[in-house]
Amino acid sequence: MKLADCVALVTGGASGLGEATVREVLSAGGRAVILDRPQSAGQQLARDLGDAAIFAAADVTNEAEVAAAVQQGVARFGTVHIAVNCAGVGAAMKTVSKQGPMPLEIFSKVIEINLIGTFNVLRLAAAQMSKNTPNAEGERGVIINTASVAAFDGQIGQAAYAASKGGVVSLTLPVARDLASVGIRVMTIAPGTFDTPMLAMLPEAQRQALAAQIPFPPRLGRPTEFAMLARQIVENPMLNGETIRLDGALRMPPR
């Protein structure tokens, strides 16, 4: 698929990796549905970007809200061809600490947003994509999920986050196989340490220490580099059912 011909639904699209992906879609001539929380900067971003973007306020774990967001895209742009799942949360807490065992609600919330939310969005977007007229390659749509290198190299305190992202990795192939018959590809990107709003809250010394762990290039990843890979996935029809690490050869140490 060519982005110029596509409508992309991007979750977490108001900031960080999601915003960079939205901008990449528009720069290639595509259109975008920015799905993010009501209190996000999504409405302002859509206004800034013009007629090729709309904002759809939704919680990725809410079936009705996500279904409505998909239909907003259909009503405005005719259909949805691409779904990019960037919405997610983190939680740093040991399984057992001086305060006792990790509260189960923290673990559950991370799984609910990062894993269940991803599946909720992809299934509803895929249902709409399945109605598309296939292109010359037989494609009707592309789904791109966001995991993390924590799925493979989870650090101390990352049990919930690593489990949620490991689940995203594990569902990639079976969902790609599920959707092959309707011409929808499914891929996952596993970023390393990227310069996102979440990391921007850390002290600069800590940010520099994280960057120093990356073999090459020895810096934090840029959201635009995530967006570049998302575009390549959309435009390369042989990419399907796989997770790509985007990490500068980083392998996370225990802490």
- Residues catalogued as catalytic: 161
The closest of 126, 127, 227, 132 to 185, measured between CA atoms, is 126
The closest of 57, 32, 31, 30 to 43, measured between CA atoms, is 57
As a whole number of angstroms, the distance between CA 225 and CA 54 comes to 23
Angle between the N-to-C axes of helices 117-129 and 63-77, in degrees from 0 to 180, rounded to the nearest 10 = 40
Contact of 82 with 6, CB cutoff 8 Å: yes
As a whole number of angstroms, the distance between CA 198 and CA 88 comes to 11
Contact of 186 with 172, CB cutoff 8 Å: yes
Q: What stretches of 134-241 adopt beta strand conformation (E)?
A: 141-146, 184-191
Express the helix, strand and coil content of the chain in percent, nearest 5 each. Answer: 45, 15, 35
H helical segments located in 11-158: 16-27, 42-49, 63-77, 104-111, 117-129, 150-153
